[in-house]
Amino acid sequence: MNKSETVKALSEQLDLTQTETEELYNSLVKQLTSHLSERDGFSIPDFGSFTSEIRDEYKSFNPHYKQMMLLPKKKVVRFSESSALKDEFNEAEL
């Protein structure tokens, strides 16, 4: 499902025009991004939580230079599923 399909489906659910929905969708993504960059993240009920954390610098082998490199620290986004989401995809097999 690509973006236009998503927007179309959303506009039907929310009873809005597609243009309005697309605007809202875009700014929602922007806002979620800013929550991750300016704060520590957010969580969506029954889906999971998105957190941003600082990964410390670490050493790693660079196969091109054939030498150890020190990779700098970086702020990365992590996602962890909620238990509801876990159950959703594992119920059948358990």
Partner 1 sequence: MSDKIKFSELVKAFAESHNITQQKAENLVRGVFNLLLDDLENEGKASITNFGSFELKEVAERTGINPQTGEEIVIPAHNKVSFKPFKALEQTVNAPFAHLESRLIEEDPSESKPIPPVAPIDSDNAEEGDQEEFEDPFKSVISPEVENEPEDLDNEIEEEEEESEQDEASIPPPVYKARESEGNSGMVLLLIILLIAIIGAAGWYFFLRDSGSSDYSNQVADNEPPKTELPAPVTQEKPAEPMPESTDNGNNEMPAVSSNDGKTSAEKESALSEKTSETPKEMTTYIIKKDEWMWDISRKVYGKAYLWPLIFESNKKVTDNPNLVEPAKTLIIPRLEGNASALTRGDYAQLAKASRIVSEAYGNVGNQDRAAEYLRFSKKYERHSKN
We find the least distance from the C-beta atom of residue 18 to partner 1, in angstroms, to be 13
Among 56, 63, 65, 83, binds partner 1 (CB under 8 A): 65
CB atoms within 10 A of CB 21: 20
Shortest gap between Cβ of 63 and partner 1 (angstroms)? 13
Interface with partner 1 includes 83 (CB under 8 A)?
no
Contact flag: residue 31 with partner 1 (CB under 8 A): yes
DSSP 3-state assignment of 1? coil
Q: Is 89:81 a contact under the CB 8 Å cutoff?
A: no
Single out the residue of 88, 63, 59 nearest to residue 73, CA to CA.
59
User: Per rule CB under 8 A, is residue 45 in the interface with partner 1?
Assistant: yes
Residue 17 within binding range of partner 1, rule CB under 8 A: no
Separation CA 20–CA 9 (nearest Å): 13
* Residues 6+ away with beta carbon under 8 Å from 67: 61
Residues of the shown chain interacting with partner 1 in the complex, contacts defined by CB under 8 A: 1, 3, 6, 9-10, 13-14, 24-29, 31-37, 39-45, 47-52, 54, 59, 62, 65-79, 81, 85-86, 88-90, 93-94
